[in-house]
Amino acid sequence: MGDRTLQVVVYREDDGFVAQCLNIDVASEGDTETEALSNLREALELYFDDTAETDLFQTVADAHVEQITLKSA
């Protein structure tokens, strides 16, 4: 497997952190951001080890966070 650059978002959820890949539907969690990222790296490595296709993920470029407000009815 060659090098892959994947886009990941990390956020707090309850008492821990979630690390979620934006390119493919893989996420993991941990007690700290570092642990969540480490767990995600392991999950992604397993995902790609089990996947024959080398380009199954969508390229995400120029990702950014937006905030929207929904009005209550």
d(CA 55, CA 51): 10
| pTM attached to this predicted model | 0.73
Cα–Cα nearest to 42, from 19, 14, 15: 19
Residue 54 lies in a domain: no
Residue 27 within any structural domain of the chain: yes
Our count of domains for the chain comes to 1
Q: What is the DSSP letter of 14?
A: T
Is the pLDDT score of 55 beyond 80? no
User: Which domain range does residue 40 map to?
Assistant: 8-49
Within-domain flag for 68: no
User: 63: which 2 tokens?
Assistant: 């990702």
pLDDT tens track for 9-47: 999 999 999 999 988 889 999 999 999 999 999 999 998
Residue 4's pLDDT is 79
